[in-house]
Amino acid sequence: MADQAFKIPEYREFPTIPALVPGAMAHSKPYVANEKIQAEMGFPGQLVDNWEEKAIEKFGELLGKYRSLKVFMDSCVHCGACTDKCHYFISTGDPKNMPVARQDLMRSVYRRYFTLPGKLFPSLVGARDLTKEVLDEWFSYFWQCSECRRCSVFCPYGIDTAEVTMAARHIMDSVGYGQKYSNEIILKLNKIGNNLGLPGPALENTLEGLEEDVKDDTGVDVKYPLNVKGAEVLLVTPSADFFAEPHIESLIGYGKVFHAAGISWTLSSYASEAGNFGLFNGSYEHMREVALRVRKAALELGVKRIVVGECGHAWRVAYAFWNTLSGLGAGAKDPFAIELQNQLDPRHMQPSHICEFTWDLIQQGRLKFDKEKNDHRIITFHDSCNVARASRMGNYPGGQFEIPRNVIKAVANNYVDMAPDTICESTFCCGGGGGVLTDDLIELRVKGAFPRMEALKQVADGQGVNFMATICAICKAQFSKVLPYYGFDMRLVGGVHQLVSTAIRLGDEQ
């Protein structure tokens, strides 16, 4: 890692709030989406001539459509509670990475165009015209937010910078200033069915190969079925699970759970992606388009249950938004949603998280484990931000913290938590979420991981932790990449179902 052009943050003996370093990350910006990508997304190919007017028009439209945005623009009192909560601020000291300052990039424009004092006395209330410089600043700093919601936990009014970031990105998209990485991914999903652009036949080959590998490894015929009509469960999982390391280890684990419990299941090539990057760009329509694929696949395959694999933002969208977007849940009244409601088994939560699914089976005594097979590991758990602060598992608040830990403790003997102010609702983002998991933002990613790396270092040095389990494809990809920058082995990160996979008894051997 000697060739990088930036300084990696150094571990601190006494973590303190950094002094401000104005402009420290002003140079950070992702690649701009080209004309072709933008056009296919239904956005202008490049910055339109009257972009200022269009942007303000869009801003006004969003203020009318999203109460969150309107209330958040009006309510901030600049108290400073959030200023030291963002992982990007902690690691860079750039004041514009303080959540309130990030919001103010947009709030200053709001005040100028939508409030009386901002129109009359702009400098008094910190109102600014939307100039090209301001727009460029938006493009830089709204792509330095991973939409992790940590700031919203600590805000006395619950102001969620993620909502502001999403709105800003949506406005930029609509005037022709999109981000290449996220928009490309949404297009791939819409065309092929998953973020990686893995077509059906390739997926089939991959799964067949996986079956052979598992057979070689265990001697058992564990199936990884694709497009099987009439299966009990449709598993929707991030496409990284199909071939990326360590993701695939968890996919192997899911298959083993279904096998051991004797529950029929299938993947869908049409809906071969749990991720939904529409969330990151604040585009309701794109998010809905992606979500509808799952409903369609579920109807075609006639499944009784829908289970979502290990992915943070995907679980947020599935848990909190699928019902709204596609009627997958209770209460929707359109014909497709009603058909789906009649088809799905009402005794189960729809959708369920794979950890909920596995934990249910464990509680019913339907899974058996050889826990000592995980004895070479001392395990900690990294709460993924979208699971922790934007969703739930089980039927009680906080289940999203307990259930994955319960699963780990059921399959392994050595478990320790990281420092309390870095886990559960206070968890630190991996640094790569929210649409910044791209190599053109590698500096941001490496730095953003710093608070998590410090907490990990503590338990690695103190308790000998050598495995950090997580339930998010982005966390896994991000950590695999940045762990070496901090002196860790990249294989230190893995999935919860990777641990399940190691210890589970497949049943056939008894």
Partner 1 sequence: MTMFLAILFYLAFVIFVAGVAYKIYDFARTPAPLSIPTTPAPTTKGGVALRMAREVVFFESLFKSNLWIWLFGWLFHMALLLVLIRHLRYFTEPVWNWVVILQPFGLYAGFAMAAGLAGLWVRRILVERIRYISTPSDHLMLVLLLLIALSGLGIKFFMHTDITAVKVFFLGLMMFDIQPLPSHIGLYVHLLLVALLMIIFPFSKLLHAPGVFFSPTRNQADNPREVRHLAPWAAQIEKN
Q: Which of residues 420-439 bind partner 1 (CB under 8 A)?
A: 425
Smallest distance from partner 1 to CB 24, Å: 13
Distance CA 423, CA 432 (A): 17
Smallest distance from partner 1 to CB 497, Å: 22
- Does residue number 288 form part of the binding site for partner 1 (CB under 8 A)? yes
Smallest distance from partner 1 to CB 5, Å: 27
CB 247 within 8 A of CB 490: no
Tell me whether residue 14 or residue 396 sits nearer to partner 1 (CB atom).
396
- Does residue number 137 form part of the binding site for partner 1 (CB under 8 A)? no
Q: What are the distances in angstroms from CA 320 to CA 169, 326, 350, 391, 500?
A: 21, 11, 11, 6, 26
- DSSP element (H, E) containing 390: helix 385-390
Which of the residues 96 through 115 are near partner 1 (CB under 8 A)?
A: 98, 100-101, 104, 115
Tell me whether residue 337 or residue 442 sits nearer to partner 1 (CB atom).
337
Among 28, 38, 83, 374, binds partner 1 (CB under 8 A): 83
Tell me whether residue 156 or residue 230 sits nearer to partner 1 (CB atom).
156
Secondary-structure breakdown of the chain: helix, strand, coil percentages, each rounded to the nearest 5: 55, 5, 40
Which region among 157-165, 206-214, 265-273, 485-493 touches partner 1 (by CB under 8 A)? 157-165
- Does residue number 154 form part of the binding site for partner 1 (CB under 8 A)? yes
CB 412 within 8 A of CB 499: yes
Q: Whose CA is closest to 445, among 400, 411, 397, 479? A: 479
- Does residue number 351 form part of the binding site for partner 1 (CB under 8 A)? yes
Tell me whether residue 280 or residue 488 sits nearer to partner 1 (CB atom).
280
Beta 379-381 vs 467-470: how paired, if at all? parallel
- Does residue number 149 form part of the binding site for partner 1 (CB under 8 A)? yes
- DSSP element (H, E) containing 236: strand 233-236
Cα 476 off chain centre by: 11
Which region among 47-55, 153-161, 371-379, 474-482 touches partner 1 (by CB under 8 A)? 153-161
Which of the residues 384 through 413 are near partner 1 (CB under 8 A)?
A: 388-392, 395-398, 400-401
Beta bridge partners, 304, equal: none
Q: Whose CA is closest to 468, among 377, 379, 375, 402? A: 379
Q: Whose CA is closest to 148, among 317, 280, 318? A: 280
- Does residue number 64 form part of the binding site for partner 1 (CB under 8 A)? yes
Distance CA 245, CA 164 (A): 33
User: Any idea which residue has 């000697």 for tokens?
Assistant: 2
Q: Whose CA is closest to 32, among 145, 144, 146, 184? A: 184
Residue type, 65: K
Among 50, 123, 364, 510, binds partner 1 (CB under 8 A): 123
Among 26, 47, 63, 228, binds partner 1 (CB under 8 A): 63
Which of the residues 307 through 336 are near partner 1 (CB under 8 A)?
A: 319-321, 323-324, 327, 329-332, 334
Could you please report the per-residue DSSP string of 68-96?
A: HHHHHHHH-----TTTT--HHHHHH--GG
Which of the residues 15 through 44 are near partner 1 (CB under 8 A)?
A: 17, 19-20
Tell me whether residue 326 or residue 470 sits nearer to partner 1 (CB atom).
326
Site size toward partner 1, by CB under 8 A: 76
All residues at 6 or more sequence positions from 94 whose CB lies less than 8 Å from its CB, including other chains:
20, 21, 22, 23, 24, 25, 26, 88, 144
- Does residue number 285 form part of the binding site for partner 1 (CB under 8 A)? yes
Could you please report the per-residue DSSP string of 485-496?
A: GGT--GGGEEEH
Tell me whether residue 160 or residue 249 sits nearer to partner 1 (CB atom).
160
The beta strands (E) that lie in 278-337 are given as: 305-308
Strand order in the sheet with 265-266: 265-266, 233-236, 305-308, 352-353
Tell me whether residue 247 or residue 382 sits nearer to partner 1 (CB atom).
382
Which region among 136-144, 150-158, 408-416, 444-452 touches partner 1 (by CB under 8 A)? 150-158
Tokens at residue 459, please?
């338990």
Tell me whether residue 194 or residue 400 sits nearer to partner 1 (CB atom).
400
CB 235 within 8 A of CB 199: no
Smallest distance from partner 1 to CB 261, Å: 22
Smallest distance from partner 1 to CB 442, Å: 27
Among 306, 349, 455, 500, binds partner 1 (CB under 8 A): 349
Smallest distance from partner 1 to CB 347, Å: 13
Smallest distance from partner 1 to CB 475, Å: 18
Among 23, 36, 49, 124, binds partner 1 (CB under 8 A): 124
Smallest distance from partner 1 to CB 468, Å: 22
- Does residue number 158 form part of the binding site for partner 1 (CB under 8 A)? yes
All residues at 6 or more sequence positions from 118 whose CB lies less than 8 Å from its CB, including other chains:
110, 111, 112, 125, 127
Which region among 44-52, 119-127, 223-231, 306-314 touches partner 1 (by CB under 8 A)? 119-127
